[in-house]
Structure 1
Amino acid sequence: MTVSGKETLAKVPAITLGFWLIKVLVTTLGETGGDAVSMSLGLGYLASTGIFITVFVALVALQIKAAGFRPFLYWATIIASTTLGTTLADFATRSLGIGYSGGSALLLSLLLLTLFCWQRLLGRIDVGSVQSPGAEGFYWLTITFSQTLGTALGDWTADTQGLGYMGGAAIFGGALLLLATLYYGTALSRTGLFWLAFVLTRPLGAVVGDFLDKPLAQGGLELSRFSASACLAAAVLLLIAALPQRAARKGH
């Protein structure tokens, strides 16, 4: 899709404050929703991952098939990726026994490899270039690894390092504020800062989600995972409807 013959609209949203507000909410929803299916329903990490990856692949196919940016479809796909990231990270770190640090290292390597291949093959990795099926494929693969990495990283910070959920939230929230300062105060790569921020919103959502539903004895609020997920989903829908949603642009 073109605008005035000079710019091409991407099939993903422009990066605005509204984008980041919704992103933090959906990553938190991914944590509570993923845990609701794998733990509260007792389906386990592997079966839950199978369910979520099926939904995610179907939504990615619809996303690629769509003629342009569709806000509700886009965010539904992000939610599917973040719930998949939750159960996939838990399966890798707990069921496979590689631990949070091992899982984080593996997922970081896969994320960097995906970005490297994307850059080498297509030349650009910014959101404005996400227009072709090839770019969309790399975009959603990058997002999947970032969501899964964020889950493992959040658990590693809160549990392995003993910082707790609020301590983890303070660290990742502070890191995001630092990135915002670098974005507005320096000439560092906007694309690099975007992907760093995208990764860091996921562990922030992970520790906040765990804070909402984990037992009081473990430092959580012990809320129902289903109730917390429903409230978060309602807030996401409200923000998508209320906040301006426009496609990212790529100037020719």
Structure 2
Amino acid sequence: MTYETQASYGSPAPTVARRNKVPEITAYFWVIKVLCTTVGETAADFLNAQLGLGLTGTSLVMAALLVLALIAQFRTAAYHPGVYWLVVVLVSIVGTLISDNLTDNLGVALEVTTAVFALALAATFALWFKAEGTLSIYRVDSVRREGFYWAAVLFTFALGTAAGDLVAERMSLGYWVAAVLFGLVIAVIALTHYTMGLGTVLSFWTVYVLTRPLGASVGDFLSQPADDGGLGLGTVITSALFLAVILALVVFLAVSRRDVTDGEQVTRPAV
């Protein structure tokens, strides 16, 4: 989903000079985001099962790495593809592990975790808007706004994990069918955004949540054994393959700067 400038919205919006810490929302953004989501699913499974770290040990290690990556991200003066997408990969893994810990270790029902993460995400947006007067994804240009942004990203991954597992469990969907289902829902939201004016913030974050179960379904389809409905590539090959593609795309963006908008005069909706 690519959000355009003023002409796409049909009405004038204030021109805002800003130094954004997040990328422009282009097709590259969504492709990498889905790939990061897939890696989050397969990498968590690999670390948990094949390396023998266990769910708790994996969670602690990945949480520590995420903290270090976030420190690096907050210390940058502008958007840097390598740092930004490293944080997204780690957030995808940690978000998955948070949901899995609540469900598998503590026995919390998926209905409860889905509701809790949805409320946490809503609360994050409410506090963000109260503090800043905007939820614009084009104006993440201060430490406080960036803090709200990454909190929202974390909760979307946790919510997407819980909601995706809940849908798959209740409907007994296969990996491929689940991927098609979530892909169709995303397509409907995108179509509604472009043809019926569904708000930018609502459409962006809804798709952000839904790409989590979409990517997880793709990852499971590739990595799980054929007897379970997958292709049997395994978590190692699947994770390595997707990480290689992510790296290639991030290097391309770092060189081409096609998703960098810092310093431009742009017109975006404030909310």
8 A Cα contact 1:214 1:220, kept in partner: yes
Tell me the CA shift for residue 245 of structure 1: 2.5
Question: After superposition, where does 1:52-91 map in structure 2 within 5 Å?
Answer: 52-91=62-101
8 A Cα contact 1:45 1:87, kept in partner: yes
Q: Structure 2 residue aligned with 1:101, among 95, 111, 114?
A: 111
The aligned length equals 248
1:114 equivalent in structure 2: 124
Q: Which 4+ residue blocks in structure 1 deviate beyond 3 angstroms?
A: 247-252
Q: Structure 2 residue aligned with 1:8, among 14, 18, 27?
A: 18
**Do structure 1's residue 169 and structure 2's residue 179 form an aligned pair?**
yes
Q: Structure 1 residue aligned with 2:138, among 107, 128, 131?
A: 128
Tell me the CA shift for residue 36 of structure 1: 0.8
Cα distance in 1 for residues equivalent to 2:127 and 2:187: 29
8 A Cα contact 2:225 2:234, kept in partner: no
Cα distance in 1 for residues equivalent to 2:251 and 2:102: 36
Q: Structure 2 residue aligned with 1:182, among 171, 192, 196?
A: 192
Cα distance in 2 for residues equivalent to 1:177 and 1:89: 26
TM-score (structure 2 length as normaliser): 0.86
8 A Cα contact 1:37 1:48, kept in partner: yes
Change (3 A) 1:99 1:164: farther
User: Structure 2 regions of 5+ residues with no counterpart?
Assistant: 1-14
**Do structure 1's residue 202 and structure 2's residue 212 form an aligned pair?**
yes
Percent identity reads 35
Q: Structure 1 residue aligned with 2:55, among 20, 45, 69?
A: 45
1:223 equivalent in structure 2: 233
Let me know the Cα RMSD of the aligned residues: 1.8
Secondary structure of 1:129's match? Answer: coil
Tell me the CA shift for residue 221 of structure 1: 1.9
Identify which range, 131-140 or 160-169, moves more after superposition. Answer: 160-169
Identify which range, 240-249 or 193-202, moves more after superposition. Answer: 240-249
8 A Cα contact 1:155 1:206, kept in partner: no
User: Structure 1 regions of 5+ residues with no counterpart?
Assistant: none
Identify which range, 106-115 or 65-74, moves more after superposition. Answer: 106-115
Secondary structure of 2:141's match? Answer: coil
Secondary structure of 2:78's match? Answer: coil
Tell me the CA shift for residue 114 of structure 1: 0.9
Identify which range, 193-202 or 101-110, moves more after superposition. Answer: 101-110
**Do structure 1's residue 143 and structure 2's residue 157 form an aligned pair?**
no
Tell me the CA shift for residue 15 of structure 1: 0.5
Tell me the CA shift for residue 132 of structure 1: 0.8
Tell me the CA shift for residue 251 of structure 1: 4.9
Secondary structure of 2:135's match? Answer: coil
